[in-house]
Structure 1
Amino acid sequence: MKKSTLFPLAFTIFALFFGAGNLLFPPELGALAGENLVPAMIGFVITGVGLPLLALFAVARVGGGTDQIARYIPKRLALILTGLMYVAIGPFFGIPRTAAVTYEMGLVPFLDSPSTLTLAMSSTVFFGLTFFLTLRAQKLIEVIGRIITPILLFLLASIGLTNLIAPLGEPGAPAAGFETWVGALGQGFQQGYLTMDVFGALVFGAIVLVTLKANGLSDQKEASSLLRSAGMLAVTCLMLVYISLGSIGANMAVAEGTTSGASLLQAFAGTSYGQVGMLALGLAVFLACLTTAVGLISEFSRFISNQFDSLKYHHVVVATTLFGYLISLVGLGTLIQIAIPLLTLLYPVMIALVLVSVTERLQRNPGVAMKATIYTALVFSIFETWNGIQPSAATAWITSLPMADIGLAWAVPTMIVYVITLLLPKSGTQESLAQSRIS
């Protein structure tokens, strides 16, 4: 089963990851970075590829999602953080964003006068198909991994090869904030937040384990090993796609006079292939967003139904699909503006959680290490998220920290605390620490 499932599973993980933001943000980043594309993409790949892979490893190691990974921190805090994460990638942003991007990139270029009515019609069809596939979640690997993703990868590869062989321009001067290598790297690192791939890894990794178990792979060690192998293959594909899309954005920005990822991709497809290219790009967007929406609704519904025994999975699927449909009607730009503060707050905490979890075997006292590292990341991310709102003394202190100018004021203090925890004396077993969790 492992041999026959590896590639379909890797394709499934890729498709679950590769949604709306993964398609739009790399070309936008490339357009802004211009000649400093390399450091910007390095930063983006760290948060968009490296950290999600570590998160998949963390899921594979504990054999479960965030609830298992966060077992050393107080139960209520773990529930709040997990709940906020699911809200961010679920019905309030991640799910409706897939429908909004499908409309803006797949249909708007072919409409004479886009309107709220056409957006509503597009979202109705999109969420209808999503609902149909979500209720057949046990077939995810079969439907997505063996059918949908190969088509998606073929379309993306065609676009990438065309840009490599016949680029339509050259990178221009870097935008403000991207003038230096360090600045460009920091901007790329932060832009990777918006893909929400670390959140996605924690969610989709759990989906994969559940799906493998439902399809007869009951051995936890084998399932975890398969998840790790497939995850490495999937994120390698992600990295290649990101670099390709970033290059397209850098090459097209000067000629098109815009940094919009959607506009740059549409211009590239239209110039290179005409109407056929526009249709192919629209199909790629639709497939990418559809698979991600299916995974997000499935896992969000599982999370909610597990937290509340009175709510059945199928009922939550219906409610989540309807809510995501309604939120999608506000448009993509509004959704992104709403999500940025929440992602700025949560991402450092989840990075800290994944870091300690993956290196738990190096920790002499993993319970204390996880609490100390996460609390440090949480405090500094709160200050950074509300920078300028808190008292001026606090603002001055935060802005004086290393890498604060590129939005990473939390990074150095968190890493210092993490390194200190590696030196702590051994105290108790991991199991006793987990059982002593504060409720």
Structure 2
Amino acid sequence: MSRKNVLFLGLMLFSLFFGAGNLIFPPLLGLESGNNFGSAITGFLITGVLLPFMAIMAISLSENGLVSIGSRVHKLFGLIFAIIIYMSIGALYGIPRASNVAYELGFKQIVNVNGWLALFVFSLLFFGATYFISLNPKKIVDRIGQLLTPILLVVLAILVIQAFVKFEDIASPAKGSYASSPFVKGFVEGYFTMDAVAALAFGIVVINALKDKGANSKSALVKGTLGAGVIAGLGLAVVYVSLGWIGRVIPGENDFANGAEILTVASDLLFASGGGLLFGSIVTLACLTTCVGLTNACARFFNEIYPKIQYRSYVAIFVLIGLLVSNLGLNAILSFATPLLVFIYPISIVLIILSLFQHFAGGGKMMYRLAVCVASIFALYEALTSIGYEVEGVTGWLDVIPFFEHGLGWVLPAFVAAMVGYGMDKCNNEVIE
């Protein structure tokens, strides 16, 4: 595996991760964390960069990717959970969300349009480009790694460099939770980028891209994935810190609702009339590359579990579903997907960490089953509360669990359950290396 191929694969992976959500979270963190920006962005980088990197490595170390990781709980669970992951962050959420965000924060910044017809026409063009790029999976590294990613990085660099030159770093107080616990707040914000879940889907793209470039042995796959992951992780870290810094130093006392507004205003301040065009280009490219990655991942996954339908047909199916769902509007997509994502994310993190732990220290089914069961209970509670359902008599005693108020109450109980399960596997001589 040549260094050139690993470099382009790393650029592709960076671009697949760097969607519109990743673009708009850091600036708001920078604005609200103020003088505590350093602690806040450190927490954000752990969950926004380190966890996705761990997920990619976990997939590369598994013989059959996400399915084999989930099968350590139970074979049927592994298949069903993998399908839920791909459908939730793919056709039912990630793909149509990318199109909608590209339209709302990208296209509408360039062209002053409104209404369902404008969204429909844009969706046709957006998904037409997605279909074309995704059609030949063997060229995805060339098309994204060598073409789209460099363009995206150049546009981002122009914005960031101008901000470093023109904006003045003035001390400002932190707001809300960033004042009392900036690291934890930043950690949670990175948690909600959902990149660790997306990495479970993107893992198959990386593995297949490596195989297409001639890496057939497990050691070559792991080495190539490690190199690509480091490149993508470093790129994401630099961009996150830069975008967060823009929010930290943007002048004025504007009351911004989200990071998109911050970047829009920053673009206007730095480039006047050309600001909207610049920001719109960034968002559209970021969403397009993410959409291509999700489409490719979903199509390759379902083609492997049901090969009677060709890869190209799966691409067409997911593009068509994305086109239809995206025209429901962003609010409808978010309201439908949020409970599902809140449910699957803790389970995904547990599987990622245990998979890596097993590679170095071994582990058996009880370790996986107990940890996933405990995480699932907390995840179900969070999913129910996200749709407004109150579980009477539960919240009071759950409040004593560390980080429960931040939505991370599952972390310590799942860790304890995993260690108990690991001990049981040791006693029963069922630890598998």
Range with greater deviation from structure 2 (19-28 or 413-422):
413-422
Change (3 A) 1:34 1:123: farther
Residue aligning to 1:413: 413
Supply the distance in 2 between the matched residues of 1:421 and 1:345 (Cα, whole angstroms): 22
Mapped contact 1:33–1:178 kept (Cα < 8 A): yes
Per-residue deviation at 1:228? 0.8
Change (3 A) 1:418 1:160: farther
Range with greater deviation from structure 2 (3-12 or 390-399):
390-399
Residue aligning to 1:316: 314
Structure 2: gaps (5+ residues): none
Residue aligning to 1:330: 328
Per-residue deviation at 1:278? 2.8
Residue aligning to 2:344: 346
Where 2:72 maps in the other structure, the secondary structure is coil
Per-residue deviation at 1:287? 1.8
Supply the distance in 2 between the matched residues of 1:171 and 1:91 (Cα, whole angstroms): 44
Residue aligning to 2:80: 80
Mapped contact 2:71–2:77 kept (Cα < 8 A): no
Supply the distance in 1 between the matched residues of 2:197 and 2:251 (Cα, whole angstroms): 30
Residue aligning to 2:147: 147
Residue aligning to 1:304: 302
Residue aligning to 1:275: 273
Identical residues among aligned pairs (%): 32
Change (3 A) 1:293 1:403: same
Per-residue deviation at 1:169? 6.7
Per-residue deviation at 1:413? 0.8
Mapped contact 2:68–2:78 kept (Cα < 8 A): no
Query: Between Structure 1 and Structure 2, how many residues are aligned?
Result: 429
Change (3 A) 1:173 1:206: same
Query: For 2:214, which of 216, 234, 246 is the aligned residue?
Result: 216
Q: Does 1:3 align with 2:6?
A: no
Per-residue deviation at 1:311? 3.0
Change (3 A) 1:114 1:31: farther
Deviations 1:345-394 (A, max 9, x none): 11111110000100114445332212221121111221233247354221
Query: For 1:294, which of 289, 292, 295 is the aligned residue?
Result: 292
Change (3 A) 1:391 1:264: closer
Per-residue deviation at 1:12? 0.8
Per-residue deviation at 1:309? 4.4
Mapped contact 2:204–2:301 kept (Cα < 8 A): no
Change (3 A) 1:430 1:188: same
Residue aligning to 2:114: 114
One-letter code aligned to 2:353:
L
Supply the distance in 2 between the matched residues of 1:173 and 1:116 (Cα, whole angstroms): 42
Supply the distance in 1 between the matched residues of 2:150 and 2:69 (Cα, whole angstroms): 32
Deviations 1:232-257 (A, max 9, x none): 11111101111111222233385332
Residue aligning to 2:45: 45
Residue aligning to 1:437: none
Supply the distance in 1 between the matched residues of 2:423 and 2:70 (Cα, whole angstroms): 21
Residue aligning to 2:432: 430
Mapped contact 2:13–2:232 kept (Cα < 8 A): yes
Per-residue deviation at 1:266? 1.1
Per-residue deviation at 1:200? 1.9
Mapped contact 1:193–1:344 kept (Cα < 8 A): no
Structure 1: gaps (5+ residues): 432-439
Equivalences for residues 57-68 of structure 1 within 5 A: 57-68=57-68
Supply the distance in 2 between the matched residues of 1:312 and 1:35 (Cα, whole angstroms): 54
Where 1:133 maps in the other structure, the secondary structure is helix
Q: Calculate the aligned-residue CA RMSD, in Å.
A: 2.3
Mapped contact 2:299–2:314 kept (Cα < 8 A): yes
